[in-house]
Homo-oligomer: A and B are copies of this chain.
């Protein structure tokens, strides 16, 4: 498959037209900024984490986004219930394993959630994706590769294990699943200096998955949009503070010409 400016744009237009409800069980740090990003692109965010209501909320949502950034036991139970309900309903799930690998609690939690239900999309940085790969698999071979190649290998493994689309974010985003590999090279070096833009990427994956039946396309389109909005924002920003705001303005004002002028994506068959 190819990712074209027009295919990215079609999803943006669909989000603006349908305003899909995206149910987030996410971390405290980014709730405000991800809600604003979802609103800016045209989606309708809701945050709800109480065990007595998450299944009902999933029932009216177009996508479920799970982010373990500030997890605790009651939240994990809510995440698990929401994921099971989403799976039963066929609602796409996006999982962001924030900090997996940093503490045993986070790594355990990710494996518990992956055992509860199958996400459509898993998005994290290289070390988080590595921590998601099941131990059996990750100790199978010697991980002699480093950096981008190791990240690609881990992402492919996880995609196979979970039959999910996996995004390993970095300077170039590596998107794999459905037998394909896509690389999206949009973005700006100032973006990692704003907290939660990775979490925002996961939230936008939810909005795109709500309007596109292919999680691979949804994930790639979302990553392209994030990167392009970041580039547009960086042209005006004087630092990470203003970048954060101009990024929301850019998401809101995004049009097909912006995408056509900036999209940097390549695709290949998996294993190719």
Contacts and interface: CB of A to CB of B under 8 A. Distances in A.
Nearest to A241: B248
A141 interface: no
Interface in A233-272: 237-242, 244-253
Binding site secondary structure of chain A: helix
A50 B32 contact: no
A103 B48 contact: yes
Count this chain's copies in the assembly: 3
B56 A105 contact: yes
Interface stretch (A2-10, A23-31, A207-215): A23-31
B244 A240 contact: no
Interface in A13-58: 27-33, 35-36, 39-40, 45-53, 56-57
A71 interface: yes
Contacts of A60: 102
Size range of the interface on A?
A: 35 or more
Interface string A178-198: 000000000000001111100
A28 to B, nearest CB: 5
Nearest to A238: B249
A73 interface: yes
A251 B241 CA distance: 9
A241 B33 CA distance: 10
B36 A240 contact: yes
Q: Which residue of A57, A194, A195 has the most chain B CB atoms within 10 A of its CB atom?
A: A195
Nearest to A192: B39
Contacts of A71: 50
Given A28-B28, A57-B102, A239-B249, 16 more contacts: A28-B47, A36-B240, A40-B239, A40-B240, A48-B70, A48-B99, A51-B72, A53-B105, A56-B102, A56-B103, A60-B102, A72-B74, A240-B248, A241-B244, A244-B245, A245-B245
